[in-house]
Amino acid sequence: MNLRAISLRSTYQTHSGRIDAVTAQMIVLDNGSAFRVSPNAEVTVDGRSAQVLDLRRGMTVTVRTPPQRNEVWTVEARSAACRFRPASRCVPGKP
């Protein structure tokens, strides 16, 4: 039996800001940056699994994209209620 170690390296860029506009296929940040959302993108809001259309204008967001394209792989969003708390302690609607 021949065993070989394989090393994989994933490279991506991160972009952060507040959402200015969102559709099922696009996220636009308040700095004017626009990103196409991959159909397989992983989306979380306040640390919980979500869909792109759960995102709202004004949410703080970090998106990850491949280095050469503006296609979003992952989206991590924080609602206004949870902006200053760790996701594990955030319960939207409770102070």
Query: 3-class DSSP state for residue 6?
Result: coil
Architecture of domain 13-83: Beta Barrel (2.40)
So where are the chain's domains?
13-83
Q: Tell me whether residue 35 is exposed, middle or buried, using C-beta atoms within 10 angstroms of its C-beta: 0 to 12, 13 to 18, 19 or more.
A: buried
Give the predicted TM-score (pTM) of the model.
0.74
The answer to whether 61 and 15 are in contact (CB under 8 A) is no
Confidence of residue 9 (pLDDT cuts 50, 70, 90): low
Cα separation, 56 vs 52, whole angstroms: 9
Given a cut of 70, whether residue 82 has pLDDT beyond it is yes
